[in-house]
Amino acid sequence: MFEYLVAPILEFSFMQRALIGCLAISLSAAPIGVFLMLRRMSLTGDAMAHAILPGAAIGFFIAGLSIEAMTIGGIIAGCTVAVLSGLVSRLTEVAEDTSMAAFYLISLALGVLIISVKGSQIDLLHVLFGSALALNNEALYLLGGICSITLITLAIVFRPLVLECMDRLFLQSVSKLSPIAHFSFLVLVVLNLVGGFNAIGTLMSVGMMILPSAAARYWVKGLDMLLLLSCIFAMLSCYIGLLMSYHAGWPTGPAIILTLGSLYIISFSFGINGSLLTHLSKPKHLSA
Amino acid sequence: MILSLDNLTLGYESHPAVHHLSIEIEKGALLALVGPNGAGKSTLLKGIMGQISPLEGQINLHVERSDVAYLPQQSQVDRSFPITVQEMVALGAWRHTGAFGRLRSKHKRQVASALKQLGLSGFEKRLINSLSGGQMQRVLFARLLVQEANMILLDEPFTGVDSRTTHDLLHMIQSWHQQGKTIIAVLHDLEQVRTHFPQCLLLSREPISFGDTQEVLTEENWLKARKLNEAFDEHAVYCGSH
């Protein structure tokens, strides 16, 4: 058992790096996912993941496979799409999901164009699927940095962000923090997606946000417990996914996300809050 | 005087939802805002709160904006959000805690007292998604109580609320009035307005009548207000150009 579960991590430094990197991204992406879910913006994560593509591609073609260049490019592209779609929806009469869809599609088309004109599909594969087992020091610093920035920012904007999700008019009536809460949250989404693409790839990193919270809601009710359980689910899945990837020779990103996916399926089937099981079992009621 | 509106026009996409409204509201007023659907009542409250800017005219608020509490229509609150009754009510202390400050024991006592006054003792740890419409409205009133504002704007506070809760909440409004607070409430039940609200503004986008409730709510005024065409006229010319 020890041989199977612990030894690979103790033995190989690339496994330790992968684990640390993935745990960092779990700790920051999972709480972001909880707020995305509560704001009914789960698909926004997916849209933003596509939106950062041209930035990462431009970074890649300027500086090669450099984490800094791709990260900076991705952050610029992602934030541009987030801010533009937010501004367009606040200043004109169109809902935010529509303007975000419009901008991410423009951004995605631009990204695909740049890659097909200047690069090869192999480069694209790295951006899309990442490589957790090849994280170097720079990538680890980046993931640690993003995790720290995310947790600190969340702690600072927590109260306005909760109100922005639940009762925006009240927030606007007591403070001017509504746009700050909204945009800093979108920037955190972008940062985590960009951080995630080094470890498990852009598209997979959306899964790190959405799946833990989607699974956790079947087990707990309060916001604090949702945040906690989402992080635990994400970290646990990283550990299991990494080990599966090591033993079976599977790519790491999909292994982690499929582990999370299994957790989600178990949760919506057998969870204690509104799962299939609770719907199928004979309802009982209390006396008062 | 606590609020004066000077030739105020508020609207959407250049169409006026409140058209050339000039009134002065005295400190301590208990004012009902009535009119048919689409008359601009909620828009006026949003304008006073600074959430939409005037197309024309001015809103002069003679108190700090932080001294104004606003209760939006209940449908504006996401009731599926996993927050407890106690946490929701404690947000009323925002003026003291701000976005980051801790809740002091004084505020905790205030929250407990507000919950008790609204008959919500025992509900502290309940999530708001498990409450009925009336219970939720009590929670929102408890939050108003903690806000301790001197001016209170209420947008349809009794919609979807049973008669007992309405009675209790009206009682609370009366006690705020006795404490000298200024209250403006959007209401639909004219009998309720006649019984409990000494002042009234009848709005039908254009102001129809403002003043003593018994004089405002006449058959004639109400018929005038009812003639309002709810739809915006897409072919309207610019105001003042004819």
The pLDDT value given to residue A92: 82
pLDDT at B232 over 80: no
Task: Test B13 with A163 for CB contact under 8 angstroms.
Answer: no
Residues of A in contact with B98 (CB under 8 A): 175
The pLDDT value given to residue B194: 94
For residues B48-81, b (16+ Cβ closer than 10 Å) or e, as one string? bbebbebbebebebeeebebbbbbbbbeebbbeb
**Angular region, A90: left φ>0, alpha ψ -120 to 50, beta rest:** alpha
Indicate the SS3 state at residue A263. helix
Same domain, B140 and B167: no
Say which range, A51-65, A158-172, B140-154, has the weakest mean pLDDT. A51-65
Q: Does pTM surpass 0.90?
A: no
Same domain, B54 and B174: yes
Would you kindly state where each structural domain of chain A is located, as residue ranges?
A: 2-271
DSSP structural state of residue A221 = -
* First CA to last CA distance, chain A: 48
CA distances to B63, B88, B157 from B91, in Å: 21, 5, 19
**Angular region, B148: left φ>0, alpha ψ -120 to 50, beta rest:** left
Say which range, A49-63, A99-113, B55-69, B183-197, has the weakest mean pLDDT. A49-63
B23 part of a folded domain? yes
When divided into structural domains, chain B yields a total of: 2
The pLDDT value given to residue A86: 84
B69 part of a folded domain? no
Same domain, B17 and B120: no
Chain B nearest-CA distance from A250, in A, is 38
Same domain, B52 and B161: yes
B237 part of a folded domain? no
The percent of residues above 70 in pLDDT, for chain A, comes to 94
Can you read off the two tokens belonging to residue A2?
A: 């020890």
SS (H, E, C) chain B: CCEEEEEEEEEECCEEEEEEEEEEECCCCEEEEECCCCCCHHHHHHHHCCCCCCCEEEEEECCCHHHEEEECCHHHCCCCCCCEHHHHHHHHHHHHHCCCCCCCHHHHHHHHHHHHHCCCCCCCCCEHHHCCHHHHHHHHHHHHHHHCCCEEEEECCCCCCCHHHHHHHHHHHHHHHHCCCEEEEECCCHHHHHHHCCEEEEEECEEEEEEEHHHHCCHHHHHHHHCCCCCCCCCCCCCCCC
| Sequence-separated (6 or more) residues with CB below 8 Å from residue A244 | A250, A255, A259
Question: For the structural domain made of A2-271, what CATH number should be given?
Answer: 1.10.3470.10
Chain A nearest-CA distance from B42, in A, is 12
- Region A94-100: what's the mean pLDDT? 85
Chain A nearest-CA distance from B78, in A, is 5
Give the span between the Cα atoms of B58 and B47, in whole angstroms: 10
Task: Test A93 with B83 for CB contact under 8 angstroms.
Answer: no
Instruction: Name which of A56, A84, A75 is nearest A149 in CA terms.
Output: A75
Task: Test B127 with A157 for CB contact under 8 angstroms.
Answer: no
Q: How far is CA B46 from the centre of its chain?
A: 9
Which of B149, B166, B195 terminates a domain? The answer is: B149
The pLDDT value given to residue A239: 94
Same domain, B96 and B29: no
Residue type, B129: N
Residues of B with a Cβ under 8 Å from any A Cβ are 13, 49, 51, 66, 68-70, 72, 76-78, 81-84, 91, 94-95, 98-100, 127, 143, 147
Q: Chain A residue with minimal CA distance to B95?
A: A174
Same domain, B141 and B155: no
Q: Chain B residue with minimal CA distance to A167?
A: B77
Report strand pairing: B206-212 vs B182-186: unpaired
CB pairs under 8 A between A and B: 57
Task: Test A173 with B70 for CB contact under 8 angstroms.
Answer: yes
CB of A79 closer than 8 Å to CB of A55 = no
Angle, alpha carbons A37-B69-B175 (nearest 5°): 125
Residue from the list A159, A165, A222 with its beta carbon closest to the beta carbon of B127: A222
B209 part of a folded domain? yes
Tell me whether residue A176 is exposed, middle or buried, using C-beta atoms within 10 angstroms of its C-beta: 0 to 12, 13 to 18, 19 or more: exposed
Which of B126, B149, B172 terminates a domain? The answer is: B149
Same domain, B58 and B128: no
Give the span between the Cα atoms of A87 and A51, in whole angstroms: 16
CB of B3 closer than 8 Å to CB of B62 = yes
Same domain, B97 and B114: yes
Task: Test A172 with B49 for CB contact under 8 angstroms.
Answer: yes
Residues B27-61: tens digit of each pLDDT: 999 999 999 888 899 999 999 998 888 999 999 99
B20 part of a folded domain? yes
B128 part of a folded domain? yes
For residue B88, the enclosing domain spans 79-149
B36 part of a folded domain? yes
Give the span between the Cα atoms of B154 and B115, in whole angstroms: 19
Residues of A in contact with B70 (CB under 8 A): 169-170, 173
Can you read off the two tokens belonging to residue A82?
A: 């987030």
Task: Test A174 with B94 for CB contact under 8 angstroms.
Answer: yes
CB of B140 closer than 8 Å to CB of B152 = no
Task: Test A159 with B91 for CB contact under 8 angstroms.
Answer: yes
Chain B nearest-CA distance from A203, in A, is 27
Give the span between the Cα atoms of B156 and B72, in whole angstroms: 8
Instruction: Name which of A85, A18, A9 is nearest A47 in CA terms.
Output: A85
Chain A nearest-CA distance from B101, in A, is 10
Mutate to test the interface with A, among B42, B78, B139 (most CBs of A within 10 A): B78
Residues of B in contact with A168 (CB under 8 A): 76
Task: Test A93 with B13 for CB contact under 8 angstroms.
Answer: yes
Give the span between the Cα atoms of A59 and A74, in whole angstroms: 8
Where is pLDDT greater, at A177 or A197? A177
Same domain, B46 and B57: yes
Task: Test B76 with A169 for CB contact under 8 angstroms.
Answer: yes
Task: Test A162 with B98 for CB contact under 8 angstroms.
Answer: no
Report strand pairing: B206-212 vs B151-155: unpaired
CATH number at residue B52: 3.40.50.300
Which of B149, B184, B207 terminates a domain? The answer is: B149
B74 part of a folded domain? no
Give the span between the Cα atoms of B201 and B229, in whole angstroms: 19
The pLDDT value given to residue B140: 94
Residues A251-265: tens digit of each pLDDT: 888 899 999 999 999
Give the span between the Cα atoms of A129 and A202, in whole angstroms: 7
Same domain, B170 and B189: yes
The pLDDT value given to residue A189: 93
Same domain, B49 and B98: no
Task: Test A159 with B69 for CB contact under 8 angstroms.
Answer: no
Same domain, B171 and B208: yes
